Amino acid sequence: MSAVLRTIWGCWAALVVLLATTTGLAFVPLGRWNIVVALAIATAKALIVVIVFMELRRSSGLVRVFAGAGFLWLLILLGLTGADYSSRHESYIPNTLQLHETPVKR
């Protein structure tokens, strides 16, 4: 078996193991750590795909810079989304003011 096929089969096996781990951990009550573990496993899967299948391991420096810039931009957008979500008050959610207002008697 060639080295390329061994790499592809190894990546496939790693992705299947990580998939089984994700599925198994979905049934384990970890409390607040569920999302942390799920995101860590998803990051590992994404790194396998990026390094092996997108061939960033063998690419030039310029391609790596642009891949890093894309990842940095994704982190900025996720950070801004998290900041927006955490800074919102309940009254800013659309259509909730009607639920809290008292009806006007005429």
pLDDT digit string (tens) for the chain, length 106 residues? 798 899 899 999 999 999 999 999 999 998 889 999 999 999 999 999 988 888 888 888 898 899 889 989 999 999 999 999 888 766 655 655 555 556 666 6
pTM: 0.65
Tell me the one-letter amino acid at 80.
Answer: L
The reported pLDDT for the residue numbered 15 is 96
**Contact predicate 41/22, CB 8 Å:** yes
pLDDT for position 10: 93
Cα-only R_g, the chain: 22
Q: What is the pLDDT of residue 85?
A: 86
Q: CA 95 to CA 89: how far, in whole Å?
A: 13
Return the closest-CA partner of residue 50 out of 23, 76, 25, 74.
Answer: 74
CB neighbours of residue 54 within 10 Å: 11
